[in-house]
């Protein structure tokens, strides 16, 4: 997305949020892998968004992971809101694309499936009415 925006303060802010989100989620991943406290502390000191040691208590790692995950989620919401304000209205957030709508136009418009492949409600009613 950064390649599609002209250099401006909003683009710089998007970059900072993206880096911060990636950094915080990587620390949460470290904590979930039962990493040593010293390594988590070193990772916290690596990025400016987590450098303030008074805000993050390394002694309670599960609580720290929850806090970092919450902050990353909040920054993601800010990131998406800023991207929307900058004109990115069609962001694909989910990993799948919706199916195209069925229309009455196109090369297969008006065609029906052959009787052998078509499912009809009448056939289903016949199947349920038969004793087994």
Over residues 70-128, the pLDDT tens digits come to 999 999 999 988 888 888 777 666 555 556 665 666 665 666 555 554 444 455 555 45
Contact 64, 51 (CB under 8 A): no
Residue of higher predicted confidence among 123 and 30: 30
pLDDT of 71 reads 93
- High-pLDDT (> 70) share of the chain, %: 62
Specify the pTM: 0.61
pLDDT at 89: 73
Give the pLDDT score at 103.
Answer: 62
Residue 19 has pLDDT above 90, yes or no: yes
3-state secondary structure string, the chain? CHHHCCCCHHHHHHHHHHHHHHHHHHHHHHHHCCCCHHHHHHHHHHCHHHCCCCCCCCCCHHHHHHHHHHHHHHHHHHHHHHHHHCCCCCCCCCCCCCCCCCCCCCCCCCCCCCCCCCCCHHHHHHHHHCCC
């Amino acid at each position: 997305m950064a390649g599609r925006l002209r250099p401006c303060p909003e683009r710089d802010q998007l970059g900072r949020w993206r880096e911060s989100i990636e950094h915080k989620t990587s620390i949460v991943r470290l904590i979930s892998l039962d990493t040593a406290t010293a390594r988590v502390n070193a990772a916290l000191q690596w990025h400016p968004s987590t450098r303030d040691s008074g805000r993050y208590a390394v002694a309670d790692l599960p609580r720290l992971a929850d806090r970092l995950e919450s902050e990353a989620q909040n920054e993601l919401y800010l990131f998406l809101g800023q991207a929307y304000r900058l004109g990115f209205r069609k962001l694909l957030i989910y990993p799948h694309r919706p199916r195209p709508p069925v229309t009455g136009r196109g090369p297969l418009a008006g065609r029906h499936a052959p009787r052998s492949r078509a499912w009809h409600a009448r056939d289903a009613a016949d199947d349920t009415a038969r004793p087994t």
